[in-house]
Amino acid sequence: MIENIRLMLMILPAIIRAVKEIEDVLPETGLGAVKLRLVRESLEATVDGISDFWPMIQKVVALVVSVFNESGLFRKSVAPK
């Protein structure tokens, strides 16, 4: 459990930056699965063994996105055609 907390504290800033940057590049609604895939595959490509922690990381990514949506940081845009 302590290892999970340490991991989250270490990667939370990177997750926040990644979510913001992905949203800047792909602001359209309806692309959540693509954006999440980008986060996951980027982490898997760069951090050995991170797949074991993906369920926890996915929940944190969802929380970050939810907070950004609720706070108005992410503005809803038109879905892509």
pLDDT in tens, the chain (81 residues): 888 889 889 889 999 999 999 999 999 889 999 999 999 999 899 989 989 989 999 999 999 999 998 888 787 655 555
- Report yes or no on whether pTM surpasses 0.85: no
Look-up of token digits 């302590």: 2
Q: d(Cα 48, Cα 43) in Å, to the nearest integer?
A: 9
Tokens representing 8 are: 């989250």
Q: d(Cα 1, Cα 80) in Å, to the nearest integer?
A: 41
Contact 8, 56 (CB under 8 A): yes
